[in-house]
Structure 1
Amino acid sequence: MPVTVLDKGNGFAFAVIDCGLEPNLIWVTALYNSGEIWCAPNPKVRMQANWTAGRMKDVTFSGSGGEVSPA
């Protein structure tokens, strides 16, 4: 799944690690620009926009800290 890892860049998530009830999911992601593999916690991962699927970039999202503006 194409994703953006905050503070790292765009990549392709190819696995998810579920450590149980309390911890965040961990997204195993290969970054496009560097080829690095990162394990990113759920709050740091965002789906990329997809025009065909009708999923546009969320302009209310603040990419720096993970907070979203109230609707």
Structure 2
Amino acid sequence: MAFTQLDPPLPVFVVDRGNGLAHGVIDYGPEHNLIWVTAIDDSGEIWCAPNPMVRMQNNWTMGRKHRDRPAATGERRGGAGDVTPISPGL
């Protein structure tokens, strides 16, 4: 397992949660999705979201235009059950 702190944090969109800043990435290895540790803008909650649930936010300078948010792809098999909140026991 590897944890990478993102410096600076990246602005991302988490499906079913909203915009936020990703402060870290957890990599459990080749058989698992990357996990994005993200602070959600609207609620202030910290969520660990699997890679298929995370999108980069639009960025005019980089040419990444605003578009309707697509549904999650890949291994998504449910709603909020795919996104796990951080608990003190981690």
TM-score band, normalised by shorter chain: 0.7 to 0.9
- Alpha-carbon deviation of 1:39? 0.1
The yes-or-no answer on 1:18 pairing with 2:24 is no
The equivalent of 1:29 in structure 2 is 38
Deviations 1:11-41 (A, max 9, x none): 0001000000110000000001111000000
TM-score by length of structure 2 reads 0.66
Residue segments in structure 1 that go unaligned for 5+ positions in a row: none
Of Structure 1 and Structure 2, which has the larger fraction of its residues in strand? 2
Structure 2, unaligned stretches of length 5 or more? 1-9, 74-90
CA distance in 2, matches of 1:18, 1:41: 10
Q: Which has the higher contact order (CA 8 A, sep 6+)?
A: 1
Q: Where do 4+ consecutive residues of structure 1 move more than 4 Å?
A: none
The correspondence for 1:66, drawn from 54, 72, 78, is 72
Aligned residue pairs total 64
Q: Percent same amino acid at aligned positions?
A: 61
Q: Which of 30, 52, 55 pairs up with 2:61?
A: 52
